[in-house]
Structure 1
């Protein structure tokens, strides 16, 4: 299957999964932080290719909703939300990377768009 189709199919599935999570947890900052942190963890842990990475996890996480919530908040809340998102998403990726057993060494060097198996 072509990477374009893999990404499109994964993105559609990821967006539906995010919608179900938001339905279950409700709208707002906290559910989105949870979704983005989980997506970051899975990206760090699995180092997925086009379908799971760019597609499913790209569709599951949401930078656009994060940006809207950030700009619609009062400055102190926006600063706290920005900080919480950065810390939790970077921390989630690092934790996933650590859980994979490939932490910072022994990983093949990849380039943008390259598939890691």
Structure 2
């Protein structure tokens, strides 16, 4: 049982590292703290949530890679660097976009199989 848990942890950790590096490389295309960086973060989160809903991947690709690719902390950081109303808008929009992307991926998967 312990070796299975260790193997699972290594798999998820490697996937998460790969996902986080991928997100970092994408967001490097914009100046740090810019609106463009926030937009890229939203896009990466939406793409990751869509992929999760569409593919229903396992531990390495789902929990690991897509979990590392998507980020709540960068959205949270952007939110605390603005006004209260701006922070609320960023948080609500991030949640809504991510959730909608997951549902869209799930719906596309259902249509592709049905």
TM-score (norm. length: structure 2): 0.81
Name the structure where helix makes up a greater proportion of residues.
2
How far did 1:24 drift? 2.2
Runs of 5+ in structure 1 lacking a partner? 103-117
- Residue 101 of structure 2 corresponds to 92
Q: Distance in 2 between matches of 1:82 and 1:62?
A: 12
1:24-55, Cα deviation, whole Å (9 max, x unpaired): 24443211111111111111111111100111
Q: 1:7/1:96 Cα in 2 relative to 1: closer, same or farther (>3 Å)?
A: same
Q: How many residues align?
A: 104
- Report the Cα offset of residue 94 of structure 1: 0.4
Give the whole-Å Cα distance in 2 for the aligned partners of 1:83 and 1:74: 14
2:46 corresponding residue in structure 1: 37
Task: Please give the secondary structure, in 1, of the residue aligned with 2:82.
Answer: coil
Tell me whether 1:58 sits opposite 2:63 in the alignment. Answer: no
Q: Deviations over 1:43-75 (max 9, x none)?
A: 111111110011101111111111111122112
Show structure 2 runs of 5+ residues with no match. Answer: none
Aligned residues of 1:11 and 1:60 also touching (Cα < 8 A):
yes
Structure 1 length-normalised TM: 0.79
